């Protein structure tokens, strides 16, 4: 080894060492992400955003932004995650119905967070026009939550709370669809308390083994 430190063309050793060795300042990260959210709220499209403009609006140097994010795609992923940063409560595992209600209630409360909902609608609509960025978000955020829902449904088929001949992917869509519709497409519709229970009980009515009544646990052999 000759002790040479690789960096961007024209970048000195001290700058490279600072980028690699200095811990990230959370306040700067927050300022940059909040700047992007503000610009989106003001109607700026993702396509019109540039790293240079974001840095200028956030009051930081362009190099500071590039030290944190390799490019706009990486930054936009963190912006999306900032709108989706509340951890979904884990499934208790005692009742499939109760776990489904917990998951949908989590979605309902997120839908009531007006700023996040409005921005999420804007960003999702724009990100879908950028397939690589949308796929990355889908693979890292959406898929994990859907898999958690499918795990509960699979458990339901094993415990007899859900008929084994049901299409679980379709059932997942039926459970989350009404809540997503109100949160993302028809934001003027109310999302009252009890909506999660109403959705779950309505869908389960068609998914339970025949003859089982609502709220009744299946008999164990």
**CA within 13 Å, CB half, 193:** 0
Distance CA 26, CA 178 (A): 37
pLDDT at residue 137 tops 90: no
Of residues 192 and 17, more confidence is placed in: 192
**C-alpha–C-alpha distance, residues 194 and 113, integer Å:** 17
Q: Are 160 and 209 in contact (CB under 8 A)?
A: yes
User: What is the structure's pLDDT at 118?
Assistant: 66
Residue given tokens 């992917």 in the structure block? 169
Task: Delineate the domains of the chain, giving CATH numbers in brackets.
Answer: 13-82 (1.10.357.10), 86-207 (1.10.357.10)
pLDDT at 44: 87
Compute φ and ψ for 34, nearest 5 degrees.
Answer: -65, -35
pLDDT of residue 211: 64
Give the single-character DSSP code of 87: P
Work out the mean pLDDT of the chain and round it to a whole number: 80
- Could you read off the pLDDT of 178-217 as tens digits, one per residue? 988 887 766 667 889 999 999 999 999 988 887 655 445 5
Residue 50 has pLDDT above 80, yes or no: yes
Q: Is the pLDDT of residue 14 over 50?
A: no
The number of angstroms, rounded, from the C-alpha of 121 to the middle of its chain's C-alpha atoms is 12
pLDDT at 21: 45
Q: Tens digit of pLDDT for each residue in 60-115? A: 999 999 999 998 888 988 888 887 766 777 778 789 999 999 999 988 887 776 66
Cut 0.85: pTM above it: no
- Is the pLDDT confidence value at 218 over 60? no
Closest among 166, 41, 165, 152 to 104, alpha carbons compared: 152
SS3 of residue 85 by DSSP: coil
Q: Which of 5-19, 60-74, 104-118, 152-166 has the lowest mean pLDDT?
A: 5-19
- Angle subtended by helix axes 26-41 and 114-127, to nearest 10: 80
Mean pLDDT lowest among 35-39, 44-48, 193-197, 207-211: 207-211
């Amino acid at each position: 080894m000759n002790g040479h430190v690789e960096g961007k063309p024209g970048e000195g050793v001290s700058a490279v060492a600072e980028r690699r060795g200095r811990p990230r300042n959370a306040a700067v990260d927050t300022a940059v992400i909040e700047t992007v959210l503000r610009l989106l709220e003001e109607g700026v499209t993702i396509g019109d955003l540039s790293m240079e403009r974001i840095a200028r609006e956030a009051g930081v140097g362009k190099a500071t932004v590039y030290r944190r994010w390799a490019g706009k795609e990486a930054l936009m992923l963190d912006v999306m995650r900032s709108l989706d940063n509340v951890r979904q409560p884990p499934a208790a595992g005692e009742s499939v119905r109760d776990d489904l209600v917990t998951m949908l209630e989590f979605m309902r409360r997120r839908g009531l967070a007006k700023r996040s909902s409005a921005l999420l609608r804007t960003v999702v609509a724009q990100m879908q026009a950028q397939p690589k960025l949308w796929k990355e978000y889908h693979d890292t955020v959406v898929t994990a939550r859907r898999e958690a829902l499918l795990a509960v449904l699979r458990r339901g088929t094993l415990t007899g709370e859900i008929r084994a001949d049901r299409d679980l992917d379709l059932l997942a869509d039926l459970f989350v669809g009404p809540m997503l519709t109100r949160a993302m497409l028809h934001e003027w519709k109310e999302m009252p308390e009890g909506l999660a229970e109403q959705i779950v009980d309505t869908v389960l009515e068609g998914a339970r083994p025949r003859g089982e009544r609502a709220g009744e646990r299946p008999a164990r052999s």
